[in-house]
Structure 1
């Protein structure tokens, strides 16, 4: 099972086993990772699963589509590597991936 490393704003890292096919958001919510709420359940309506994908992992996902990009426009701390965790489906190739959970 791929391991996703969630870097929290205070410096703590939470490694979580996330089943292949599950989203970065769902893995965080299921394991109580603070800062990732997933309020809409992955329906692309809330942006409460905003993460920064570590630079070396950004190209392992397809680029954000227009709907995701529109939601990202409303997040705080928007960066080139900002993504919505609900749109990032984990595969075996993502074992060891690192995502940063933004402040607030």
Structure 2
């Protein structure tokens, strides 16, 4: 129905840890733990072989007993596309 083979949405989402590692550095922590997701949507398909761009924003940061819980807003887009292909709130716990 999409005119070509598409990548699974969860494959796109699985890029989140490597994307975050590429765009930010957090000093003075022992570990960065993938704490989960608050919201995920896949508004458009990703044709296989497409180039992706990701925009990262800091949505929230809060001190917790175990460390600092940060929420990052990730918006993935296919180069040349008009709609996002994945929008996710990724939660990371820094200890």
- TM-score past 0.5 threshold: no
Computing the radius of gyration from Cα coordinates, the structure with the larger value is 2
Greater relative contact order, per chain length (Cα 8 Å cut-off, separation 6+) = 1
Hey, which of these two has a bigger chunk of strand by percent?
2
Hey, which of these two has a bigger chunk of helix by percent?
1
* TM-score, with structure 1 as normaliser: 0.23
* TM-score, with structure 2 as normaliser: 0.24
